[in-house]
Structure 1
């Protein structure tokens, strides 16, 4: 290819002919006049002398002019190229190249382009179907994953509910077992206490005795009336025939025995714990001093003192205060 650099200084180039009068033009000895003898004209070989520099410039000018003339002489053809996506069938640069083609080659290029467009459209359709399939497959996969997650959450919730229910049942069973155990322990304790109390009362029953027999209870402790100086009854009355034996309720010592005004004949026993037992309205006294044992006869039922009939008036005192004789006798295991 000829250089585009300017011609050497001193060489004057002849203007090329216009496009209308264009013919083959070559620089000759006549057209290249050397200035002031600085350059020489190379003699033509076979009748034509050429300078390499002048020849290159002339060829460039000739080709350019020929192309311009050819393009101007031909009618313009409108080419519409659709914008297509690149599916590996060639870019827009190839289409522009085909649009510049001439003659049958241009027609063949258009046919090839049409075929290529159809192939591209077919490829685009296949790619769209593949993409749609992939999207549907992905959606189905996501839906399956969501269903699996929901199923797992439901199963986990069911397991947690079952575990909570099992825990509640287990705790309820443990509580019931604990309540049953406590109830059994309480019942066993109460039974043991009752048995111990029974044994204690049996032992006391052997140590204590009823004050008389064949009796009827006529007046109880606390009964009110004008018959008693205090305004209420301070003892327990055992009505029985005169002469019925009167016995010591427990082992004790005699602290008093004799006449006592409204009480008639009276014997006072003092137990080991300081409790005093008064026997009143006696018709006679068997012992008047010393110690006695439980069940020993100490006198006889009578009607002496302030009475309305024969009976034994029994009083229980401790610390100078009276107490209910019936409750005291029962506390000693005696059935009155």
Structure 2
């Protein structure tokens, strides 16, 4: 595999420019400008010197160097020391174009602005392809110290400003959070007060309704009556047992001694009064709304069919006729003359509590 021949090196002349050293006229040699015709062709591909990559543009590195120097206290202690040079490679323009602007780097842009550094300058390189940025102190120690202290003071001032801005932002956030919390607590208290007020209104409304219903029932109870004044409840509605042909009890039994007066529960017309098989002697009263009231197992009847009766009027006597185990009055309530309903609930709906 063939290798490329190295390009011819430029001849180094140590006495170039000295008196007597030069061209035919005795002056220095003219600048050598190689052309395509004057160079020996090189076989193969031309070799291009590889550029070393840099950190950033020279102005950016200068700012970073200044910050590092200040942080280490270098500038403050640079009295009496010779200038320090920082040499950086001069990057190609294509590489520089891809680097970020110095002002966009955190903390560097502000420092460059304070130092008055023009980032737009190119800091062109020397003939050796190297850019040199020198940080020097003044000839007098006081000048260098003052410059370092001034720069240090500016950096501290910027830090204090940033800290103050952060504290102001934190304070504003805390005040906003406190205001939101206070508003939430106020809204919560307002909701609780509204809920209590609403509950109080509902309670007052319920109490008013209950009172009105109690008054209505008390007034209604004046037009109704229990069948006997002194009694003991023995069998209730829907109780099961073989004593009843339907398999369950269809009324409410008020046990009382034989001969105890039986009163009309409500005013109405006597539909029938007589013997009714297992019910014994029975009286049926139809009220104004069509409800039938049955009074069964009587020992004697006090009314006849077609007779008008009023609430509390005596219609018969307690007995033990029909299918019974003892003297009592069996009361059935049949709305519209249909199937029986619970007499206890019906009487309570009329303001009576058996």
TM-score, normalization: structure 2? 0.58
2:283: which partner in 1?
267
Q: Which has the higher helix share?
A: 1
Q: State how far apart, in whole Å, the 2-side matches of 1:271 and 1:134 are.
A: 113
1:158: which partner in 2?
174
Q: State how far apart, in whole Å, the 2-side matches of 1:131 and 1:291 are.
A: 126
Match for 2:148 among 113, 116, 132? 132
Q: State how far apart, in whole Å, the 2-side matches of 1:321 and 1:191 are.
A: 35
- Does 2:320 align with 1:299? no
Question: Per-residue deviation at 1:287?
Answer: 1.9
Match for 1:185 among 184, 193, 201? 201
Unaligned residue ranges in structure 2 (runs of 5+): 1-82, 84-137
* Moved segments of 4+, more than 4 Å: none
Unaligned residue ranges in structure 1 (runs of 5+): 1-82, 84-119
Q: State how far apart, in whole Å, the 2-side matches of 1:263 and 1:126 are.
A: 133
Match for 2:211 among 195, 198, 202? 195
Deviations 1:307-336 (A, max 9, x none): 222210111112411111112112211121
Q: State how far apart, in whole Å, the 2-side matches of 1:292 and 1:272 are.
A: 11
TM-score, normalization: structure 1? 0.60
SS at match of 1:321: coil
Structure with greater Cα Rg:
1
SS at match of 2:242: coil
1:335: which partner in 2?
353
Deviations 1:276-321 (A, max 9, x none): 1101111222222332221111111122222222210111112411
Q: State how far apart, in whole Å, the 2-side matches of 1:272 and 1:174 are.
A: 54
Deviations 1:225-280 (A, max 9, x none): 22211111111111111211111111222111222122122111112222111011
SS at match of 1:207: coil
SS at match of 2:222: helix
Question: Per-residue deviation at 1:184?
Answer: 0.9
CA RMSD of aligned residues (A): 1.9
2:295: which partner in 1?
279
